[in-house]
Amino acid sequence: MTAIAFRFPAGRYHGTPWDRHTNEGAVEWPPSPWRILRALTAAAYRIEPPPSAEELELLLTKLSELPVYQVPRGTEAHTRHYMPTRTSTTLVFNTFVAVGRGADDPEAELVVAWPGTKLSDHDTALLDRLLEALGYLGRSESWVDARRLEAWDGEPNVVPADEKAVGVRERIRLQALMPLADFEGWRQNAPALSGRRSRLPEGLLEVLHQDTGTLQRQGWSEPPGTRWVVYHRPERLLRVRPRRKLRVRPKRPTSFARYAVSSAVLPPLTEALAVGERLREALIAQADRHGPAALALFAGKDSEGRPLEGNAHAYY
């Protein structure tokens, strides 16, 4: 058994499936086996001394078997912002999974396990170094802390479709590497099937090193050497009821004043805060002449500038 635990310090996981556009609002949860191996490959360039290609390929080959997952509950969410371009702006949907209850949730830990994989001491040491160098999983906003588990006896809740699963399930597709035997056969038939003149990857490392932009320009609908695998996931894994916050109704004001701005050219609405602040400063200046009680009423502070308790002062 080999198992890796992932924690998301920011409480968010960003990852768009290969076959979906960013603005479709789709998120890959859990992270696909393909994405995890790509992240480990990238981490190999951040450690010193770097592993040899043979060492890295041997480890990743052992982890290319389909894993099972123990996935924490989360909430699918997004933010919207306008990204400037050379000529205009474009609306971008930034979709993510709010993992667990948010940042630093001790229970929001994602476990990925390979039940039939046993690593040698050398492979284990290399994996530990890669996980220590792993800064994010998915997009760069998905900060991650990763560690290898010495032992794990948990119950996976996301498994390949051909394994038994308990409870109501939904089917999802995750990207994984082709089995080695299938990959060799695919390489022999791929040029004739696709008609492409691009160079095909010769091994596992080349499959994981492929550049997304290059593949898209060459017209690949999916990275060469990968396959889609159907997994079963709990139906409501991405539906968490938010905590209800108790709202305290503010007391009704006992008195209030409303004023109108009179001018040939009225200030824009965007300056409402600035105009209101000037009114506040003017009232406090007048109240200071009438003693501590008036100052406390309009400023919310005593004569020595200390904030009063109870909020029994004017609001602007």
pLDDT at 193 over 60: no
30 vs 312: which has the higher pLDDT: 30
Q: What is the pLDDT of residues 271-297, one digit of tens each?
A: 888 888 988 888 888 887 888 888 888
Q: Treating both helix axes as pointing N-terminal to C-terminal, what angle do 272-287 and 292-299 enclose, rounded to 10 degrees?
A: 170
Average pLDDT over residues 59-73: 94
Q: What is the pLDDT of residues 220-273, one digit of tens each?
A: 888 888 999 999 999 888 875 555 666 767 667 778 888 888 888 888 888 888
Average pLDDT over residues 52-65: 94
Among candidate residues 184, 146, 176, the one with its CA nearest the CA of residue 37 = 176
Contact call for residues 35 and 28 (beta carbons, < 8 A): yes
In the chain, % of residues over pLDDT 70: 92
311: DSSP letter: -
Name, in order, each residue with C-beta under 8 angstroms of 20's C-beta and a sequence gap of 6 or more. Answer: 26
Among candidate residues 53, 11, 18, the one with its CA nearest the CA of residue 34 = 18
pLDDT band at 78 (very low <50, low <70, confident <90, very high): confident
pLDDT band at 210 (very low <50, low <70, confident <90, very high): confident
pLDDT at 196 over 60: no
Contact call for residues 275 and 290 (beta carbons, < 8 A): no
Burial class (CB in 10 A: 0-12, 13-18, 19+), 126: buried
Name, in order, each residue with C-beta under 8 angstroms of 185's C-beta and a sequence gap of 6 or more. Answer: none
What is the pLDDT at residue 112?
97
pLDDT at 125 over 90: yes
What is the pLDDT at residue 111?
97
What is the pLDDT at residue 5?
96
Average pLDDT over residues 113-131: 95
Average pLDDT over residues 104-131: 92
Average pLDDT over residues 7-30: 89
pLDDT band at 183 (very low <50, low <70, confident <90, very high): confident
pLDDT band at 203 (very low <50, low <70, confident <90, very high): confident
Q: What is the pLDDT of residues 22-48, one digit of tens each?
A: 788 889 999 999 999 999 999 999 999
pLDDT band at 197 (very low <50, low <70, confident <90, very high): low
Distance CA 101, CA 146 (A): 19
Q: What is the pTM of this model?
A: 0.72
Average pLDDT for the chain: 86
Tokens 């556009």 locate to 21
Burial class (CB in 10 A: 0-12, 13-18, 19+), 221: exposed
